[in-house]
Structure 1
Amino acid sequence: MKFDRLRLSGFKSFLDPVDLQILPGLTGVVGPNGCGKSNLLEALRWVMGETSYKSMRGAGMEDVIFSGTTGRPSRNNAEVSLLLDNKDKTAPPEFNDEENVEVTRRIERDAGSAYRINGRDVRAKDVQLLFADASTGARSPALVRQGQIGELINAKPEARRKILEEAAGISGLHTRRHDAELRLRGAESNLEKVDDTLENLHNNLRALKRQVRQATRYKNLSGQIKEVEALALHLRWQQALDAATEAENALAAAEESVASLTRDSAGASTEQLASQEALPPLREKEAECAAIYRRLTIEQDGLENEAQRAAETVSRLSAQIETIQEDARREQDVLKDAENQLKQITEEKEILREKNAGASGKAVRAAEKAAQEKCDASQKRLAEAENDLNAIIRKLAAHQARKTDITAALENNRKKHTRIEEERTRLEQERDTLLEEGLSETRRQELKTTISALSEDYKKAAESVQSAHDQLAACNKQAETCAEPSRQAHAVLERLLGEQSALQAILSASEDADTPGLIETLKVETGYEAALGAAFGDDLNAPSDAEAAAHWLALPPFSEPPSLPDGATSLSGFVHGSNVLGRSLSLVGLVDRSKGAALQKHLSAGQRLVSLEGDLWRWDGFCATADAKTPAAQRLAQMNRLDALTSEIAMAETNAHATDEAAQTAKSKVRDATEVDNNCRAQLKQIQMKLTEAREELSEVETGAEKQISRLAAIEEACQRMTSDIDELADMIKASEADLQALVDGGDALTSEQSTHQELVGEARSIYEQDRAERENLVRERNERENRLKRLLQDIDSWQSRLENSRQQIESLKARQTQTEQEKQEAESIPQILAERSSALVEQINLAETNRKQAADTLAEAEKRLAEADKHHRAAQSALSEVRETRAALEAKTTAAKERLEEIGQHIKDTLHCAPEDALAIANFDPEKKFPEIEEIEAKLERYRRERESLGGVNLRAEEEAEEVEAQINEIQTERDDLSQAINKLRYGIGQLNREGRERLLAAFETVNGHFAKLFTQLFGGGTAELKLTESDDPLEAGLEIIAHPPGKKPQVMSLLSGGEQALTAMSLIFAVFLTNPSPICVLDEVDAPLDDANVERFCNMLTNIAETSDTRFLIITHHALTMARVNRLFGVTMQERGVSQLISVDLATAEQFAETGRDLSSDQNKDEMKSMG
C-alpha cells in the first residue's frame, strides 16, 4: 500500500480542512517556527493509532482538538483521514476489494475516538494491525520527530538496543516475555499459597477431629440438661396453675361487690342529672339580662368618648389656624427680604457692566496686551539661554560617560587579566597533578582477566541452564505423555462404572422381591436376547412358584415333539439356567430373518420361529418385526451386559492403576528436574551479576582514563589560549590608560563654560518670572470681574424664583385657613347632640340592672340544689371506685398468674417443643414418686450448665466439616499437580521466546550493521563505523554501542564526536534500520538542523538515492535552504490568521518545466518565497 493523501480538519492549529498530498519522491514542508509544521507528523501518527497523549504534546488526548483563538471559537471535534493506494492489493483480505483504502480517526470532546476504514467502524487495534502489516505505524522508526536524533545520541546502550529490536521485529518480545515471567511468578506464588493452604487444611483437620470428641461430650450434657430442665419447668408450671385458680376465685367475689355499689351510684346519678337539667334555662335568662345591661353601659361609655373626641378636634383645629397664620406672616417677611435683595443685586450688576464697557475697560485690555508681549520676549531669551546650557551639559555628560566607560573597561580588563593569570596557574597545577598520577593500567588488566574468567563461567552456567531446561522440557513432555493415558484410563473406568450403576438401577427397579420372575434365573448367550424375548414376551416375567397367581409349571418334555422346519435351529441350545422352559423352547426355532416368512407355513401347532434380530413368526399366522422390541428382550440384553461389565471393569481398574503409577513417576521426575533447573538459574544469575559489576567497573576505569587524556589536552589548549588572552589584555590596558588621561585634561574647560551659561540662564529666568507675574495679575483681575458678573446674574434668577414661590405659598396658606375654620365650627356643635342621647340611656340602664339581679338570685338557688346532689353522687362513686380498684388489682393478679402460666407454657414449648402436660414425660421422672424441691432441681441444672459451659465453644458441625476438609485436601492436591505442570510449561515457553528472540536479533544486527557501515561512509564521504553489542553476552540484555571512525580521526564512541558528526551517525543508524525493514512512508522533522551545508548535501543525496531505489515516499520538514532546493515539491505552512494554520504547495519539478518553456511562472520566485517562510 502507498500513502497518497493526508486530510486534517480541526486538528490542533489546522482549523479548516486541508489536504497534504504525499507523492512519490521527496516532499518538503517549510514555514516559520510555531506555525504548525510538526502537527502534520503528529496527525499522521494519530490517525495510525497513537494512544499516548504525551506523544501528541498534550495533557490529554482531547488537546488535539482546535482550542480556539481570539477570532475563532474552539471546536468540539477533530478528524484526520489518510488515503492509501491499494492497487497492488496488499491490504488485509477484508479491504482488498477496493483500490483505495481510507483510514479515518475522529475525536469528540467527552466522547473519545472513533476509527473507520472505508466508512466502516473498526477498533483501534484493527487500524494498528493494518499499518503494522505494512511495516509502519504510529511508533515506526521511520517517523523521526524533533529531538529524536538527540535522544538516540544521548541514550544509554541498553536503551539504544530498542531500535535494533524494531528492525528485528521483536519489539514486543520483552513485553510478552515479561508477561510470561509475571505469570510464572504468579503461578509459583500460587503454588506456595497452595502448599500453605494444604498445610493449614491438615492442621484444620487435626483440630476438627479434636472438636468431634468435644461435640460428643457436649451433646451428652445437653441431653441431661434437657431432662432436668423439663422437670424444673413442669414444677414451675404446676405452681403457676395453682396461683391462677386462686386468683380467679377472688376476682369472682369482687365482681359481686362492684355490681351492688353500681346500682347505688346509678340512683345518685339520676338525682344529679335532674338538677343539672334545671340549670341551663336559668343560666340563659341570667346571661340575657346581664348582656342587655352590659350593652347599655358600653353605649353610655361610647357617648362620653365621642364627646371627648369632639373637644379634642376643636382644640386641634384652633392650633392649626394659629400655625397657618404664623406661616403667612413669615412668608410676608421672606417676600419683603427677597424684593430688597433683588434690588441690590440689580444695582451692582449695572455698575460692573459700565466698568467693562467704558474707557477703563479698554485701558485694562491694552495693559494686558503689553504685559503679554513683554512676557513672550523674556521667555524667548530664557529658552535660548537654556538651549545653550543644555548643549554644554550634553557635551559634559558625553565626556563623563566616555570617561566612565573607559574607567570601567580598564578596571574590567585588569580584573580579567588577574583572573586569567590565576586560572592559568590553577590549570598548570592540575596538569602537573594529572601527569604525576598516571593511568591505572594494572587495575584495568586485572578487571579484564576477571571478566574473561567470569565469561567462561557464564557460558558454562548457561550451558547447564540450557541442559537443565531441556531435561525439564523432556520430563514435562514425558509427564504429559503419561498423564494422557492415565486420564483416558480413568475416563474409561468411570464410564464403565457409570454404565454398571445405571444397569443395576434399571434392573433393581423392575425386580419383585417377593415373586422374582423366571427371567431372573435364565442365562442367555450374548446375541440371543432379542430372539428369546420375541418368542416369549412378557411371559418370562411370570415366576416358577406355584402359589403365584400367574406362574410357570415344570412339565416333562414331549415324548415325540413336532420337528421344526428345515433350516430352523432349536432355541433351547442357547438358553440355560432353568428347565421350566424346556417344553416351550423345543417348539421355538431360530432362523435367518430372510427365511422366516417362507418357513412359517410349515409350522405345526404351538411352534414359532424367531430371528437374532427379534422377528417372530407364529404357527397361527401372527407375525412381529424386530422393530417391536419387547421389554423382556431388553431386560435380557441388560442382564448380559451387566455380567460382561464385571470383567471389563476389572481390566479397566488394572489399566488405570498401571497408568497412574507411570504418571506419578513422571511427575516425580518433573519435580526433580525443576529443582535442578532452579538451582542452575540461580547460579547463572549470580555469575551474571558479578560479570556485570566487573564490566561496569572496567567501563568506569576506561572512561576515567579517556577523560584524563581528554582533560590534559583541554588543559594544554586552555593554557595556550589564556597566554594569548593575557598579552592582548595588557595592550588594551595601556591604550585605555592613555585615553583616560586625555579625557581628564579636556573636562576642566567644559566645566568652566557650564558655570558661565548657568549664570546667564538664572538672570533670564528671573526677568521672565517678573513679566509673567505682572501679566497674570492683570488677567486675574479681569477674570474676577467677569466671574462676579456671572454670579450676579445667577443670583437675580434665584431671588426672582424665591419671590414667586413666596407669593404662591401665601395664597395656599389663606385657602387652608378658610377650610380649617369651617371644620372647627362643625366640631363645636357635636357636644349638645351627645348630651341629649346620654339622658335617655340612664333610664334604660336602671331597668336592666333590676332584671339582672332577679335572674341571678333564682340561678343561685338552683345551683345549691345541684351541689347537694353532686355530694351524694360523689360519695357513691367513691365507694364504687374503691371496690373497682380492688377488682382491678385482682384482675391484674389473675392476668399476671395466667400470663405467668402462659409464659411457662410457652417456654416449655420453645425449650422442649411439647405441650406443658408432656414435660414430665420428657424428664423421665416417675410421677408416683415424690417430687424434689424446685431449688434442688435448679441447683442440679446449674451444675450441668456450668459443666457444659466449661467446654467452651463447641463446633457441632465438626464431623461434617472434617469430611469437607478431607474433600478439599484431595481437590487442592489435584490442583497443585496441575499448577506444577503449568509452571513447567511457562518456563519452557519463556526459553523458547528467548531463543527465538536471540536468533532474530542477531540476524537483524548483522543486516543493520552492514547498512550502517555503508550509509556512514556515504554521509561522511569516507571513514568507517560499526555496531557492537556490549554489557552482556545475552543479545536480549546487551547494549548497542556505536563505534565511529570519521575520515582522518581515530575510532571513537558517540559521546566524543562533534554535534554534526553525532547527528550524521545517528541518521546512519536510523536509515540502516529503515533499509532493513522498509516502510511505505518516512517523515523527517527538522533532522538536518545541526548539519552544515556540505553535510546537508550528502544527506540529501542519500535521501534521493533511497527514494529512487524504493517505493518509500519521504516527507521532510525543514528550515534549510539546500534541503528545500533538493526536494521534488514544497508545501508551505503559514499562519496568516493568528493561531490558524494553512497549507500552500508548489511543485518544483513542474515549475522548472514551465521556466524552461518560457512561461510566466517563475519557480525561483516561488522557491524564494518558500525559503522566506522558513
Structure 2
Amino acid sequence: MRLKTLEMQGFKSFPDKTVISFDRGITVVVGPNGSGKSNISDAMRWVLGEISSKNIRGSKMEDVIFAGSQKRSPMGYAEVSVTFDNTEDDGKITSMSDYDEITVTRRYYRVGESEYFINRKPVRLKDIHELFMNTGLGKGGYSIIGQGKISEIISSKSEDRRAIFEEAAGIAKYRYQKQEAERKLDATLDNLVRLEDIESELEGRIGPLEKESEKAKKYLTLRDEKKALDLALSVFDIDTAKAESGELEKSLAAAKNSLDRSDETLAELEKRDEELFSSLQSEKAESERAGEDISALTEKIFEGESEIKLAENDNTHLSETVMTSRGRIAEKKAALSAAEEEKKHCLEAVRQSESRLAALGGRREKAAAELKAQEDKINECAVITGELTEKYEQAQKDDVEAKVAVSVAESQREANLKKCDELTVELSKHDEDIGMLDERINRAKEKISGYDKKLGESDSETGKISAKKDELIVLSRKLAGQKNDLFLEISQRKHQISNLLRMEELLEGYSRAVRFLMTEYRAGNITDKDGAVPKIYGPVSQFVTVDEKYSAALEVAFGQSLQNIIVDDEDCAKVAIAFLKRRNAGRATFYPITTMKGNPVSGKALGIDGLDGYIAIASELVGCDAKFRGIADYLTGRIIVAKNMDCASVIARRLGFRYKIVTLDGQVINAGGSYTGGSVSTDSQMLSRRAQIDRLGAEVTSLEKDSAETEKDIAENEKAIKAVTEQEKTALGASAMIKTLRDAESTQMQILVSNREVLKEAREQIVSQFSQLSSLAKREGENADECTEKRKRLSEEMAATEKRLCDIGREKAEAEKRAEAKKTELSDCLIDIAREEKGAEMAQNALSAATEKYNAASDDIKALEESAAGAEARIAENTARAKEITAQISVLRAEAEKINSEKAALSERSLETERKLTEVRAKQKEMTHSRELIFREYANTEAAYKRAVEKSDKLISFLWEEYETTYTQACELCGERITEKTRRDAASRQGKLKSEIKALGDVHVGAIEEYKEVKTRYDELSSQTKDLRQSKEELLSIVVSLEERMKEDFSATFEEINVNFGQVFRALFGGGSAELKLTDKIDVLNSGIEINVAPPGKVIKNMSLLSGGEQAFVAIALYFAILKVTPSPFCILDEIEAALDEVNVDKLADYLKNYSERTQFVVITHRRGTMEAADRIYGVTMHEKGISDVLSINVSEIEAKTGEKPV
C-alpha cells in the first residue's frame, strides 16, 4: 500500500481545494512559522479517524473548519480525502483487495454533523478504524508523529507506551476483537439474566392462568345456554305484544276518523275567523297608517317653516359679516400703501450703506498692502544683518587658523614624500587581483540578469492573475452581500406572512364568542338535532377584500360587523346561537345568505358624483364572492367614502346629514350629524390582513427569483475564482523555481562582490593615502604664502562688513517708522467699516420688517374678500331654499286634508267586520267542546296501543343491546318455540342459569388465550436461555484464545524491537547501550514498558536527566527500531528533529534515506540537512493572511537542469 494523494477543502487554513501528490521516497514540506504546514499532518490524522480535537491542535472539533480571514468568509464545512494505491502486496489491505485504489473521506459541518466515506460510499467511523488496524495507521499507531510529540514516546508513563508496541506487534486488531467478544459476552450475560428473570416470572403465572382458563370455559357454556333461553322468551313476549297492539290499532283508527271530522269543521270556522280578523286588522292598520301619514306631513310642514326661519336668521348674520369685511378691507388697503412706502425708504438706505462699505474696503486693502511692504523690508534688513555678523565672525576665526597653518605645513611635507614611494608598490599588486574578480562578477551578472528577466515576466503574469482574482473576490463578496440581503428580506417577509396567517388562524382581534364558535366548528363539534353539520362560513372579514389604501376607511365602515359570522341560512344561525347559549360562550351576530339583501345607493343618484373629495360608495370598494354580495351591500351600500374630513363635511351638508360618511384616514360623520374621529390603531385591523398577505407573497416570489439569479452568479464566479487560483498557483510555482535558481547565483555573486569590495576598499585606501600624501607634500610649501595672503584679504573683508552693518541699521529704523504709521491708518479704517456694517444691518432689518407688514396686509385683504364673497353666496342660496320650502309646505297641507277624509271611511267598515267576527267565535266555542269528548276516547285508545308497542320495542332493544341480535335473527336462533304452557319452566331455568353464572364470580374470558400465549412464550424463552448459555461458553473460549495469541505475538515482536533498539541507538549515538524492559513479565498484555539508555560516557538513572536533543534522539532511535520490525506504508514526521543539532540532523536524514525504499516519508521541517535528503519539496506560503498555498518543487528536475540541489 502506498500513499498517493491528500486532498483538503475548508480544512483549517486551506479554504480552497488543495491536492498534494506523494511519490516514493522522501517528501519534505517547508515554510515559515505560521504558514500552515503542520495542518497537513493534522489533516492526515483527522481523515484517518482522529476524534480528539486536542490531538489536532484544537479546542473543539469545529476548529478544523476554515474560520475566515480579512478577505474571505468562514466556510460551513471541512473535507479531507486521502487516496492509497492498493496494488502492491507489501502492506496491502486484504479486506479491500478488490480495489486498486482506496479513498477515505471525512467531512464535518459547522452544525456538528460528520460524514465518512470509503471509495465514495457512506460508512461509520468504526469502519475506518477497523480498516487500518495492524497497519501502523490506526489509533495509537506510529505512522504520524505530530509536532512536539516525538519526545512523548519516552517521557510518558511506561503503561502509556503500549499502544505503539501493540500496533507494531499487530495485536491491536486482536485486542479490538477481544474487546468486541467481551462486549458481546457482557451483553449475553445481561440477556441471560434478563431471560431467566422473565422465565421465572412466566413459570409462576402458568398455574393460575390454567385455572382461570377452565373457569372461563365453564362460564362460556352457561352463557350460551342462557342466551338461547333469553332469545326464546323474548320472541314469545314480542309475538304476544304484537297481537295485542294489532287489536288496539283498529280501535284507534275508528276514533281517529271521528276526531278528523271535528277538526275539519273547526278548521273551517278558524279560517273564517282568521279572514275576518285579518280584514279587521288590515282596516285598523290602514287607519293607523293614515294617522301616521298625517303626523309625518304635519312634522314636515313644521320642519320646513323652521328651516325658513333659520335661513332668514342666517342671512341677517351673513349681511352683517359682509359689511364688516368691506370696512376692514378699506383699512387694510391704507396700511398696505403705508408699508409699501416704508419699504422703498429702507431699500434706498441699504443701497447707500453698501456703497460706503465698498469705498472703505478699498482703503483698507491699500493700507494693508503698504504695511506688508514695510514689514517685508524690516525682515529683509534683519536677515542681511545676521548674515553680515556671521561673516565677520567667520573671517576673524579664519585669520587665526591661517596663522597656525603656516607653522605646521613645513614639518609635514618631508614625511609625506617618503611614504608615497612605499604605497606605489602595494597599489600595483591590488590592481591585478581586482581585474580577475571583475571578470567572474560580470559572468554572474549576466546569469542573474537572465533570471531577473524571466522572474519579471513571471511576476507580471502572476500580478495580472492576482489582480483578476482580487476583482473576482470583490465581486464574490458583493454577490454574497446581495444574497445575504435578499435572504434577510425574504425571511422578514415570510415571517410577516406567517404572523398574519397565524393571526387569521387564531382569529386574533375577534371576540371570545367568535373564536370559540369557529374553533368548535372546525373541530366538527357543532351539529343540529339530526346530527347534520350546519354550513358556517366564518367572520365577514375573511370573505371580503379591499385595496390597502382604502383599508382604514372600510375597517371603520364595517365596524364591529367584520366580526359577525356568515352562515348559509336561518336554520344554521339558530343552531349556532343555540350552541353558544348551551356552552355559555357569549353572544355573536349571524348573517344568513338567504335573508341578507342590501339596497345600495349610488353617488350619481345622490348627486355627489362630481363633488371634490368624493371617492365612492363603500360597497363599490369591497370585493367578494357573488353569493356574499348581498351581505356586503347591506353593510356598506349606504356608506360614503370621502378623501378627508373637509370634503366629508361638504358632502354631508349636501345630503342633509342623512348618510354615514367615512374618510380615508378613518374619521366618521354619522347620519344625523354627529362626528367621530381621532387616531386609528392599526395593530388589530382584520380587513387588511389578506391584502397584506397577498402583497407580501408576491414580494417573496420576486425576491426568491432575484436570489436564484444571485446564486447562479455566485456559482459562476466561484468557478472563475477556482480557475484563476489554479493559474495563480502554477505561476507562483514557476516564479518560486526561477527565484530559487536566481538566489543561488546571487549568493555566489555576492561572495565575489564582497571579495572584490574588500580589495577595492584596500586599493582605494592606498590611492587615497598616496593622493593625500602627494598633495600635502606639494601644497605644504605653498600653504605659508597662501595663508599670509589670506590674512590680508580677511582684514579688508572685515572692514567692508562693518560699514555695511551700519547702513542696514539705518534702513531698518526708517522702515519701522513708516510701518507704525500704516498700522494706525489701517486701524482707523477698520473702525469705520465696523460702524458702517452696523448701520447697513439696521437698514436691512428695517427693510425686512416693512416687507413683512406689506405681505401681512395683502394676505388679510385677500382673506376678507373671500369671506365677503362666501357670505354673499350663502345669502343667495338661503333665499332660494326658503322659496322652495314654502312651495313644498302648500303641497303637504293639501295632501294631509285628503288622507283625513279616507281615515273616516275606514272607521265605519271596521265596526261591521267586528260584528261578523263575534258570531263566528260563538260557533267555534260550541264545536271545541264536542271535539274534546271525542279526543279523550282517542287518547285512551292511543295510550294502550303505545304501551303494547313500547313493550315490543323494549324487548327488541333488549335483544340488540344484550346480544346484538334482531327479532328476525332471534326467531331463527331460538330453535323450538316457547308456548304459553312452557313459558313458566323456561323462566325458571333462566333464573337458575343466572345464579350459576353469578356463583362463578369474576371471570376473565381472555385467560383462555392468555394461557395459550404465556405457555408458548415460556417454551420459547426456555429454548432461548439454552442458546444463550451455549453462546456464553463459546465467547469465553474466544476470549481465552485471543489472549494467548496476543501474548505470543507481542512477546516475539517486543524482543525483536528491543534488539533493533540497541543497534539503532549505538549507530545514532556512536556507542552506548539501550534496552527495553517489561515492568510485569507475567501479565505481558497489561505490563508497562521501561526504557533504559546510556549514551557514550554517561550513566543515566532517569530519562529526564537527558537533554532535550538527547531525549528526541532516543525517541527517534526507538521509532526506527519499530519501523525495522514492522514497516508502516508511510510516515508523517512533523518537526521531530527540531531539538537536534546539525550533525544529528544529518544522521537522521541518512536513516530516512535508508528506510525510504520500504516506507514513504513525509517530513515537515525547517532544517537544511533534512531538506537535502528530499526527493520532492512542497513549500507552504501565505500570500494572503490566514490562507495557505502549496507550491511544488521537484528536486530531481532542478538538479538535472542546474547540476545543483536547490537547498
TM range, smaller chain: 0.5 to 0.7
Which SS does the other structure have where 1:149 is aligned? coil
Deviation at 1:938, TM superposition (A): 10
Q: How far apart are the structure 1 equivalents of 2:54 and 2:943? A: 86
What's 1:429 paired with? none
Deviation, structure 1 residue 173: 2.2
CA distance in 2: counterparts of 1:1012 and 1:1035, whole angstroms:
19
Q: How does 1:739-758 map to 2 (within 5 A)?
A: none
Does residue 909 of structure 2 align to residue 858 of structure 1? yes
SS of match in other structure, 2:1000: helix
* Separation of aligned partners in 1, 2:364 and 2:916: 125
**Structure-1 residue corresponding to 2:899:** 848
* Distance change >3 Å, CA 844–CA 26, structure 1 → 2: closer
Matched, 1:1112 2:1159: yes
* Alpha-carbon separation, structure 2, partners of 1:875 and 1:361: 134
Q: Unpaired segments of 5 or more residues in structure 2? A: 379-825
1:947 — aligned with what?
Answer: 999
Question: Which of the residues 1182, 1185, 1189 maps onto 1:1135?
Answer: 1182
Structure 1: gaps of 5 or more residues: 378-774, 1168-1174
Residue 226 (structure 1) shift:
7.0
Q: 1:62 to 1:868 in 2, by over 3 A?
A: farther
1:72 is the counterpart of 2:123: no
Name the structure 2 match of 1:1069: 1118
Map 1:202-213 to 2 at 5 A: 202-211=203-212
- Contact (CA 8 Å) 2:233, 2:978: kept in 1 or not? no
Q: Where do 1:539-618 residues align within 5 Å?
A: none
Which digits, 9 at most, give the CA deviation of each residue in 1:1036-1079, with x for residues without a partner? 22222323334444444545655444333333333332332212
Q: Is the 8 A contact 2:360 2:829 kept in 1?
A: no
Checking the alignment, whether the CA contact within 8 Å between 2:228 and 2:974 is kept in structure 1 is: no
Q: Distance in 2 between matches of 1:139 and 1:944?
A: 79
Structure-1 residue corresponding to 2:1151: 1102
Task: Give a deviation string over 1:348-396, Cα, whole Å, max 9, x none.
Answer: 85897699679999899999999xx99xx9xxxxxxxxxxxxxxxxxxx
- Residues in 2 aligned to 1:1148 and 1:44: alpha-carbon distance in whole angstroms: 24
1:97 and 1:249 mapped to 2: Cα distance?
Answer: 100
> TM-score under structure 1 normalisation?
0.53
Distance in 1 between residues matched to 2:37 and 2:835, nearest whole Å: 74
The 5 Å alignment of 1:261-280 reads 261-272=262-273, 274-275=275-276
- Structure 1 range deviating more: 1110-1119 or 224-233: 224-233
Contact 2:140 2:167 in 1 (8 A): no
Corresponding letter in the other structure for 1:1034 = D
Q: Is it true that 1:325 corresponds to 2:372 in the alignment? A: no
Q: What's the secondary structure of 2:1082's corresponding residue?
A: coil
3-state DSSP class of the match of 1:1116?
A: strand
The letter for the 1-side match of 2:197 is: D
Does residue 13 (structure 1) correspond to residue 64 (structure 2)? The answer is no
Report the alpha carbon displacement of residue 163 of structure 1 after superposing the two structures with TM: 1.0
Hey, what does 1:1005 align to over in structure 2? 1054
> Could you tell me which residue of structure 2 aligns to residue 311 of structure 1?
312
Cα offsets for 1:536-590 (capped at 9, x unmatched): xxxxxxxxxxxxxxxxxxxxxxxxxxxxxxxxxxxxxxxxxxxxxxxxxxxxxxx
1:345/1:365 CA distance change after superposition, 3 Å: farther
For residues 169-221 of structure 1, give each alpha carbon's deviation from its aligned partner in whole angstroms, at most 9, with x where no partner exists.
22122222122122223323333344334433332232234435645775687
TM-score, length-normalised on structure 2? 0.52
Cα-to-partner distance string for 1:717-772 (whole Å, 9 max, x where unaligned): xxxxxxxxxxxxxxxxxxxxxxxxxxxxxxxxxxxxxxxxxxxxxxxxxxxxxxxx
Amino acid of the structure 2 residue aligned with 1:895:
K
How far off its partner does 1:962 sit?
5.2
The separation in 2 between residues aligned to 1:143 and 1:832, in whole angstroms, is 115
Equivalent residue number for residue 1041 of structure 2: 992
| CA displacement at 1:894 relative to structure 2 | 3.6
The equivalences for 1:146-545 within 5 A come to 146-149=147-150, 151-153=152-154, 155-211=156-212, 214-215=215-216, 251=252, 255=256, 258-272=259-273, 274-275=275-276, 293=294, 297=298, 300-301=301-302, 303-322=304-323, 324-325=325-326, 328=329, 331-332=332-333, 335=336, 338=339, 342=343
- 2:37 equivalent in structure 1: 37
Q: What is the deviation of 1:314?
A: 1.5
Partner of 1:806: 857
Which range moves more in the overlay, 868-877 or 193-202?
868-877
- The answer to whether the 8 Å contact 2:262/2:931 transfers is yes
One-letter amino acid of the structure 2 residue matched with residue 141 of structure 1: Y
Alignment match of 2:920 (pick from 856, 860, 869) = 869
Compared CA separation, residues 1123 and 855, structure 1 to 2 (3 A): same
For residue 309 of structure 1, report the CA deviation from its aligned partner.
4.9
Match of 1:148, SS state, is coil
Counterpart-to-counterpart distance in 1, 2:197 and 2:302: 108
Looking at structure 2, the residues matched to 153 and 160 of structure 1 have their Cα atoms a distance apart, in angstroms, of: 8
Q: C-alpha displacement at 1:274, in angstroms?
A: 4.9
Residue from 1030, 1038, 1041 that aligns with 1:981: 1030
In structure 2, how many angstroms separate the alpha carbons of the residues matched to 1:267 and 1:1057?
135
Change (3 A) 1:798 1:939: farther
Q: Distance in 2 between matches of 1:943 and 1:71?
A: 95
Quote the Cα distance in structure 1 between the aligned partners of 2:1011 and 2:289.
Answer: 98
| Higher mean C-alpha deviation, range 805-814 or range 36-45 | 805-814
1:817 aligns with 2:864: no
Equivalence for 2:626: none
Conserved 8 A contact 1:244-1:901? no
Change (3 A) 1:863 1:798: farther
CA contact (8 A) 1:45 1:138 kept: no
- Distance in 2, matches of 1:893 and 1:1083, equals 109
Q: How many residues align?
A: 752
Distance 1:1031 1:965 in 2: 55
Measure the CA separation in 1 of the matches of 2:40 and 2:176: 30
Matched residue SS, 1:1037: coil
2:142 is aligned to 141
8 A contact 1:1032–1:1039 mirrored in 2: no
Tell me the amino acid that sits aligned with residue 901 of structure 1: S
Once residues 977 and 1128 of structure 2 are traced to their aligned partners in structure 1, the CA distance between those partners, rounded to angstroms, is 99
Contact 1:1024-1:1046 at 8 Å conserved across structures: yes
Q: 1:263 to 1:1054 in 2, by over 3 A?
A: same
**Shift, 1:161, TM fit:** 0.9
Aligned AA for 1:799?
A
Q: What do the CA deviations read for 1:663-702 (whole angstroms, capped 9, x no partner)?
A: xxxxxxxxxxxxxxxxxxxxxxxxxxxxxxxxxxxxxxxx
Sort the Cα spacing of 1:233 and 1:38 in 2 relative to 1 into closer, same or farther, 3 A: same
State the distance in 2 between where 1:140 and 1:1100 align: 22
Distance 1:199 1:77 in 2: 54
From 900, 904, 909, the counterpart of 2:951 = 900
- Give the 5 Å matches for 1:721-800: 786=837, 789-790=840-841, 792-793=843-844, 796-797=847-848, 799-800=850-851
- Aligned CA distance change for structure 1 residues 25 and 791 (closer, same or farther; 3 Å): farther
CA distance in structure 1 between the partners assigned to 2:162 and 2:149 by the alignment: 15
Deviations 1:910-967 (A, max 9, x none): 6587979999999999975995999x99997876565333xxx334565676566555
Output the amino acid matched with 1:259: D
Q: Is the 8 A contact 1:227 1:924 kept in 2?
A: no
Supply the distance in 1 between the matched residues of 2:307 and 2:898 (Cα, whole angstroms): 24
Q: 1:930 to 1:21 in 2, by over 3 A?
A: closer
Q: Please say if residues 80 and 107 of structure 2, whose CA atoms lie closer than 8 Å, have aligned partners that are also in contact.
A: no
SS in 2 for 1:1036: coil
Deviation at 1:166, TM superposition (A): 0.6
Q: Classify 1:889/1:1088 alpha carbon distance in 2 versus 1 (closer, same or farther; 3 Å).
A: farther
Judged with a 3 Å threshold, the aligned counterparts in structure 2 of structure 1 residues 810 and 975 are, in CA distance, closer, same or farther, namely: closer
Cα 1:235–1:1100 shift into 2, 3 Å: same
Mark the CA change 1:239 to 1:65 in structure 2 (over 3 Å): closer, same or farther. same
Alpha-carbon RMSD: 5.6
One-letter amino acid of the structure 2 residue matched with residue 30 of structure 1: V
Query: What amino acid maps onto 2:13 in structure 1?
Result: S
Q: Counterparts of 1:1053 and 1:878 in 2: how far apart (Å)? A: 134
Cα distance in 2, alignment partners of residues 1070 and 777 from structure 1: 101
1:172 is paired with a residue whose SS is: helix
